Amino acid sequence: MTETQATHGKTAVVVIPTYNEADSICPLVEALLATAKSSAPQWSVRVLVVDGDSPDGTAQAVRAAMQHQPALDLMVETKKAGIGAAYLLGFERAMRQHAADVVVEFDGDFQHPPETLPLMLEAIDEGCDYVLGSRAIPGGGYPAGWSLYRHLMSRGGGFVARLLLFFPWRPFFRITDPTTGLKATRVRGVLDRIDFARIRSKGFGYKLELLYHLVQQGARVKEIPLRFQPRRAGESKITNQTPGEILRTVLWLRLFGKRYMARGV
C-alpha cells in the first residue's frame, strides 16, 4: 500500500481508452486530478490511460506527463481490439496493480466533464455499487450540434437496449441511459464477481453486457446527470458497425445471458 492509499484509504482508478488524442489527454488528466483533489479529497484518484497504439503520439505525451505526475499510468495495446477490450485490460490492471476500490470509465476527449467524477464517487460513498452518467434525466443532455442520426442512434438505441434487456422489470424504468460511457463501479463484491474472459463483445456492446450482468447480480445502481459535451479532439470510436453490434449484443443477452453466466457454458 502506498503512502497516499494509507492516508486516503480508498482508491479510484479512472480508466481512459485513447486513440489519436495527444492534444486532449494531458489537459484532461490534469483536470480530473485537480477536480478530485479539491472536491473528493477523501479519495486517492489515479488515471490509467489505455492507448490503442495511436500514430499521433498519444502514448508519448502520456509518458512525458508521467515524469511529473505520479498518479498517472499507461498501457499501450499491441493490437487495437476495440473499446471494450481496452476497458477490460484497464480494469484488470486497476484491480491488480493499483488495488482499486472503484474503477471509473471516462472518455479521453472532454465529452465527459471532469466535474462529474466527484459526483460519482459521492454516490459510491452513499452505498451505490454502479453509478451511471445519464443524458436523459434532468440536468443531463446532448451536444447542441449533434446530427439527427446521432440523436436517433443514441436515444433510439438506448430505448431499444432498455426494452430488450429489462422490460417489463424494474430496471427498465430506473435506468434511462444504458449506452452511456460514463460509469463508476465498486470493485469488491461487485466488479470482482465478473469473469472478464466471458464478456463476449470487444466493442461498444461490452457496455450492455457489463450493465446486464451487474444488474442481474443485484448491484445497487444510481444515475447522475451527464451534460454530454462536444468532442474537443481525437477520433470517434463509434463506427457504422456499432448499431448492429449493440443490437446483436442485447438480443443475445435477452435470450441467453442468464444461462450463459450461471452455467459457464
Backbone phi and psi for residue 95, each to the nearest 5 degrees, phi listed first = -75, -40
Distance CA 202, CA 124 (A): 27
Largest Cα–Cα distance of the chain, in whole Å? 52
Question: How many structural domains does the chain have?
Answer: 1
Question: Helix, strand, or coil here: 246?
Answer: helix
What are the start-end ranges of the H helices in the chain?
3-8, 25-39, 58-66, 83-96, 116-125, 148-151, 157-166, 170-174, 205-216, 242-252, 258-263
pLDDT of residue 65: 98
Question: Helix, strand, or coil here: 12?
Answer: strand
pLDDT of residue 233: 64
B/e letters for 47-65, b = 16+ CB within 10 Å, e = fewer, are bbbbbbebebebbebbeeb
pLDDT of residue 261: 66
Q: Which amino acid is at 22?
A: A
CB 118 within 8 A of CB 36: yes
CATH number of the domain bearing residue 152: 3.90.550.10
pLDDT of residue 263: 55
The ranges of the chain with pLDDT < 50 are 1-6, 265
| DSSP code of residue 227 | B
Nearest to 87 by CA among 188, 177, 11, 18: 18
pLDDT of residue 24: 94
Give the domain range for residue 201. Answer: 3-263
- In this prediction the pTM is 0.93
